[in-house]
Amino acid sequence: MCRSIKTLREPYTDDVTDDDVRAAALQYVRKISGFRAPSARNAEAFDRAVDAVAAATQELLDGIAAARAPRARS
């Protein structure tokens, strides 16, 4: 779907920031809405959607249990 959204769970990454979660949410909302930057009339709905997707993303990441320990990186 949106190839620029990176995987945010272990073992793919071990240092996810709030900015990473928000950037993924923004990319998702941009993709499904078709807006890169919404008009002033649509900005509030767009921003609410980004906030909701970011919150859902963080909830998902917090609830996922890793099946195995992350690999050691050299």
Ordered by start, the domain boundaries in the chain are 18-63
The residues near 68 (Cβ < 8 Å, ≥ 6 apart) are 11
**Helix (H), strand (E) at residue 54:** helix 43-63
How far, in Å, CA of 36 to CA of 20, rounded?
18
Residue 5 has pLDDT above 90, yes or no: no
How far, in Å, CA of 8 to CA of 50, rounded?
16
Residue 51 has pLDDT above 70, yes or no: yes
- pLDDT tens for 34-49 read 999 999 999 999 999 9
In this prediction the pTM is 0.77
Confidence of residue 65 (pLDDT cuts 50, 70, 90): confident
Token pair in block for residue 21: 């979660």
Asked if 69 contacts 45 with a C-beta cutoff of 8 angstroms, the reply is no
